[in-house]
Amino acid sequence: MTTTLPAADPSAARAQFRAGLTVPSSGWAPGYTQANLVVLPRDWAYDMLLFGQRNPQPVPLLDVTDAGSHRTVLAPDADLRTDLPRYRVWRDGECVDEPTDVTDLWGPDLVAFLIGCSFSFETALLDAGVPVRNIEQGRNVSMYRTDRECRPAGRLSGPLVVSMRPVPGSLVATAVQVTGRMPQVHGAPVHVGAPAGLGIADLARPDFGDPVELADGDVPVFWACGVTPQAALMASRPPFAITHAPGHMFVTDVPDAVYRQP
């Protein structure tokens, strides 16, 4: 039996995913940045690029490929068509398939967007002594649609989606400072405390991910979330799109420290 212990090296991790291993990428190549993937036809790429420029907290663009290319500067030897553990294929805003390889769907017209991911700042929070409850509880982070609209861009619009992490009151300031230094992976929180301030009715019922429990003295802290562009795709219904499957990210060669400002 071959091992599925997470590879420490980004290239080795991608090779295992390329060979067919289909597991969430959390814990793989620790210390290296993982990225959300959105792939769109060239006709929609301008709107997506503008959506990122106008909404940098939920949509921090780490790289945008040339049309038709399956290569990214974030990992020069990677193949974006095969190296993620699992993809989602969207037609007219509906998820129609979850393949592990999209080579046969790739064409000269497609542009890939690689978007910063909160995995990078969870490592930084842990390094700073801030507990990350979703990791402690072995759950996916809780995510919520808010009543805040993103700034629209052409045909793309949709709500800001946030992730919530419970943080002990004495460590909220540390959590703000640590993540505030990482604007390319969502940056500082958009809201601290009362969920109603974002139009969230019930923390125990997230729109995406799992419920995560607050310990005594924890405050809910909300960060802009990389699911925001997927929510915009669902709302705006481009004829075709490919994304990563939730939790099954693209592992880059870029150390997290590159996105940590002094």
- Per CB under 8 A, the segment of 31-39, 43-51, 159-167, 232-240 that binds a copy of itself is 43-51
Binds a copy of itself (CB under 8 A): choice among 2, 3, 170, 261: 261
- Least distance to a copy of itself, CB of residue 151, Å: 8
Rounded Cα–Cα distance for residues 208 and 205 (Å): 9
Mode of pairing for the β-strands spanning 142-149 and 159-168: antiparallel
- Least distance to a copy of itself, CB of residue 65, Å: 10
- Least distance to a copy of itself, CB of residue 80, Å: 17
Rounded Cα–Cα distance for residues 121 and 138 (Å): 17
Encoded tokens for 159: 């709500």
What are the two backbone dihedrals, phi and then psi, of residue 54, each rounded to the nearest 5 degrees? -85, -15
Rounded Cα–Cα distance for residues 192 and 221 (Å): 5
Binds a copy of itself (CB under 8 A): choice among 76, 108, 129, 262: 262
Please choose, from the candidates 212, 209, 253, 210, the residue with its C-alpha nearest in 3D space to the C-alpha of residue 227. Answer: 209
Which is it for the CA torsion 66, 70, 73, 74, positive or negative?
positive
Rounded Cα–Cα distance for residues 152 and 90 (Å): 21
Q: How big is the CA angle at 180 (ends 179 and 181), to the nearest 5 degrees?
A: 85
Encoded tokens for 212: 């995560």
Encoded tokens for 21: 């291993």
Is residue 129 a contact residue for a copy of itself (CB under 8 A)? no
Binds a copy of itself (CB under 8 A): choice among 45, 110, 156, 231: 45
Binds a copy of itself (CB under 8 A): choice among 19, 30, 54, 217: 54
- Least distance to a copy of itself, CB of residue 11, Å: 23
Is residue 189 a contact residue for a copy of itself (CB under 8 A)? no
Site string for a copy of itself, 61-100 (x = CB under 8 A): x--x-x------x---------------------------
- Least distance to a copy of itself, CB of residue 262, Å: 7
Binding residues for a copy of itself (CB under 8 A): 45-46, 49-50, 52-54, 61, 64, 66, 73, 151, 154, 177, 180, 183, 261-262
